[in-house]
A and B are shown apart, each in its own frame.
Chain A
């Protein structure tokens, strides 16, 4: 009896909590339920999304879903694509390649042939061959590994590939006149290691010497002290360290300075949003001399970016992570391709996307796709600045240093 009671109590607790969660979850529903009601009246365009909505990388997937939901709502309000309403069917891959495949197959059996996903290179690479085999368009917002897209395939993306972003970073380093650099990467992560490898190769070409290489076991590493101590004793002027905002904001930068390293720390698009993750009360001036390459600059004054950031903030109350912006750009690419093709047939949408002369104007920049289906776009080099006259967390901000176009690297 006691046992039954205990279980009932536990269940009640869970249901109560989940019911609280429901209000949060409900806000994501409208897009799909709108689409559902519209579909009874006629045709809709079904767009599939695959992303990690739970698990370790849940933040990426939920950002993607938020960005997509917003963009699709806007498209639908403006009359849809080719006069048809767009319906988002979003699936959770939990960051796992197996689940990603299951989600992909189940989307196809629901009749979806245009899919946006997945967030990481690991999960996306499990889908690319399937997408080609089934003839389904797959656009990844943020899988950066070079091998994701190839010529003559159904796979496209909205982000840089590693070699491009690595060479942009090297070009920037060269422009600073720095010749001794160090790198820190997570050896188990395709994004981190891939970028650092590309950067190292590009540095070699430009005569920049990589004198120290350090690594961590996971992307969620919390202690970088030893790595930066090594950097300080190797006497490098710049460290290329590739981690995500949730490690950069709270740990990496402050620990680097505490370890006695006071050169430049350089990162990539994963640094975007780091300032929301800075612990209150630390020495904010540590964030000076931290630069990173990014697809876009959230403080950019261009109307596209500003409009996006404002409406996102109105809807969700936070600044969009780059995952949200990239997912929205994927949707925009799809929209243009469908309109050009004049149909939602996967093969013709693919052909429209494969046209390298089309210029996309997205939140993350203006770009064309190359033959493999990867954007050729320049990057914004952004730095963190601490304004002492303002003080506190509010004193931290970002500032555009320069933009490097893709022509400059070739």
Chain B
């Protein structure tokens, strides 16, 4: 029982981090049909921003986690910059494939640029703790506060995002653009502006994810986002890409699969199980768990 609960908690806390990151992927993919490989690196940018701004915040007498505001702003700016400098020109001229290659190139660029900056360098940086340590005791197993915060925050963020996309004007514009770009233009929606806003929000979410991730795993390094990003993307696909609740569900599913396969099957083959789940889900339901299958028009 103890082992089961522990495994469940680990799964939930991994899953809610994946979910937060998957949200960013889902939003960007939904609107421009691009796997934004650089998204994982936005988390890295967020992580380093947090690392460097936390001391400033503490010096100013604020709690450490307030640094996330700056991180969100920095990440949003980086996201907008990447969209303006790289993605938009390529999208105008090239195909889906060239856009994807650009995304890969941006990811390479961000990772290696970070390493070339002397203040960052090759060695990992270790962040301090953001939240109070400790936690509840349930059936002899500790559920620490960080896990609870992570789950609650990602649930709240998801809820806000859902309301935002459903109720606000910009949110409706976003859904409209992802549904049909041509029609959106006819309705007087500025596609470029909408895409920019999506990038800003998606990247900002990466900063929040960075906070949650680093609170749990306090090491920051330049390739922090690559595998994390891949798994989060898998989560987004499993849940149904382009769908906000899908990202949450997918994240939790992937987190649980990872944790349970680690505890009960083989701890070194977890990645295999994560991707097997992906393959299975896609084969049974090609649009993801919550996705709708849309027939192709002839």
A interface with B by C-beta (< 8 Å)? 2-3, 6-7, 9-10, 14, 17-18, 20-21, 23-24, 53-54, 56, 58-59, 61-62, 186-188, 214-218, 220, 222-223, 225-227, 229-230, 233, 246-247, 249-251, 258-260, 276-283
Given A217-B267, A229-B7, A251-B217, 11 other A-B residues pairs in contact with their CB atoms under 8 A: A21-B118, A24-B121, A186-B268, A226-B259, A226-B262, A227-B267, A246-B221, A250-B219, A258-B142, A279-B219, A282-B133
28 cross-chain CB contacts under 8 A:
A3-B89, A9-B85, A17-B113, A20-B117, A215-B266, A215-B267, A216-B267, A217-B267, A217-B269, A220-B227, A222-B219, A226-B6, A227-B267, A229-B7, A230-B3, A233-B2, A246-B124, A246-B221, A250-B218, A260-B2, A260-B142, A276-B126, A277-B124, A277-B126, A280-B127, A280-B129, A281-B133, A282-B133
A233 to B227, CA, bound (A): 30
CB–CB B118/A24 < 8 A: yes
Q: A226-B259, A229-B3 are in contact. Are A56 and B127 (CB under 8 A)?
A: no
Query: Which residues from 1 to 23 on chain B have a C-beta closer than 8 Å to any C-beta of chain A?
Result: 2-3, 6-7, 10, 14
B124 partner residues in chain A, CB cutoff 8 A: 59, 246, 250, 277
A283 to B270, CA, bound (A): 29
A225 partner residues in chain B, CB cutoff 8 A: 6, 10
A216 partner residues in chain B, CB cutoff 8 A: 267-268
A14 to B123, CA, bound (A): 21
A220 partner residues in chain B, CB cutoff 8 A: 227
Query: Of the candidates B115, B219, B266, which one forms a contact with A246 in the assembled complex, judged by CB atoms under 8 Å apart?
Result: B219
CB–CB B116/A21 < 8 A: yes
Interface centre among A61, A186, A188, A223 (most CB of B within 10 A): A223
Q: Mark B193-221, 1 if CB is under 8 A from A, else 0.
A: 00000000000000000000000011101
CB–CB A229/B117 < 8 A: no
B interface with A by C-beta (< 8 Å)? 2-3, 6-7, 10, 14, 84-86, 89, 112-113, 115-118, 121-124, 126-129, 133, 140-142, 144, 217-219, 221, 223, 227, 259, 262-263, 266-271
A17 to B263, CA, bound (A): 44
Give min CB distance, B78 to chain A, whole Å.
Answer: 11
Q: A215-B268, A277-B219 are in contact. Are A226 and B85 (CB under 8 A)?
A: no
Give min CB distance, A63 to chain B, whole Å.
Answer: 9
CB–CB A214/B126 < 8 A: no
A54 to B86, CA, bound (A): 25
A204 to B267, CA, bound (A): 23
CB–CB B128/A281 < 8 A: yes
A222 to B268, CA, bound (A): 13
A326 to B177, CA, bound (A): 59
CB–CB A20/B118 < 8 A: yes
CB–CB B263/A23 < 8 A: no
A61 to B122, CA, bound (A): 10
Query: Of the candidates B6, B116, B219, which one forms a contact with A17 in the assembled complex, judged by CB atoms under 8 Å apart?
Result: B116
CB–CB A229/B6 < 8 A: yes
B14 partner residues in chain A, CB cutoff 8 A: 223
Q: A58-B115, A277-B126 are in contact. Are A251 and B219 (CB under 8 A)?
A: yes
CB–CB A230/B269 < 8 A: no
Q: A10-B85, A279-B126 are in contact. Are A217 and B268 (CB under 8 A)?
A: yes
Top-7 shortest CB links A-B: A58-B122, A281-B129, A280-B128, A24-B118, A279-B218, A215-B268, A187-B268
Interface centre among B223, B259, B262, B269 (most CB of A within 10 A): B262
Give min CB distance, A200 to chain B, whole Å.
Answer: 16
CB–CB A223/B267 < 8 A: no
Beta-carbon nearest neighbor of A25 in chain B: B118
CB–CB B118/A23 < 8 A: yes
Give min CB distance, B245 to chain A, whole Å.
Answer: 26
Give min CB distance, A390 to chain B, whole Å.
Answer: 18
Q: A17-B116, A20-B118 are in contact. Are A59 and B123 (CB under 8 A)?
A: yes
A260 to B84, CA, bound (A): 49
CB–CB A260/B141 < 8 A: yes
Beta-carbon nearest neighbor of A280 in chain B: B128
B269 partner residues in chain A, CB cutoff 8 A: 217
B121 partner residues in chain A, CB cutoff 8 A: 24, 62
A217 to B258, CA, bound (A): 11
Interface centre among A6, A229, A283 (most CB of B within 10 A): A229
CB–CB A17/B128 < 8 A: no
B127 partner residues in chain A, CB cutoff 8 A: 279-280
Q: A21-B117, A281-B129 are in contact. Are A59 and B259 (CB under 8 A)?
A: no
CB–CB B85/A6 < 8 A: yes
CB–CB A17/B117 < 8 A: yes
A17 partner residues in chain B, CB cutoff 8 A: 113, 116-117
A56 partner residues in chain B, CB cutoff 8 A: 223
Give min CB distance, A325 to chain B, whole Å.
Answer: 16
Give min CB distance, A313 to chain B, whole Å.
Answer: 15
A187 partner residues in chain B, CB cutoff 8 A: 268
Beta-carbon nearest neighbor of A279 in chain B: B218
Beta-carbon nearest neighbor of A188 in chain B: B268
CB–CB B113/A14 < 8 A: yes
A233 to B262, CA, bound (A): 15
CB–CB B128/A279 < 8 A: yes
Beta-carbon nearest neighbor of B131 in chain A: A281
A259 to B126, CA, bound (A): 21
Beta-carbon nearest neighbor of B259 in chain A: A226
A53 to B123, CA, bound (A): 11
Query: Of the candidates B86, B259, B267, which one forms a contact with A214 in the assembled complex, judged by CB atoms under 8 Å apart?
Result: B267
Query: Of the candidates B117, B217, B221, B267, which one forms a contact with A226 in the assembled complex, judged by CB atoms under 8 Å apart?
Result: B267
B86 partner residues in chain A, CB cutoff 8 A: 6, 10
A343 to B266, CA, bound (A): 54
Query: Of the candidates A10, A226, A258, A281, which one forms a contact with B7 in the assembled complex, judged by CB atoms under 8 Å apart?
Result: A226
Give min CB distance, B219 to chain A, whole Å.
Answer: 4
A246 to B270, CA, bound (A): 21
Give min CB distance, A350 to chain B, whole Å.
Answer: 33
A10 to B133, CA, bound (A): 42
A2 to B262, CA, bound (A): 50
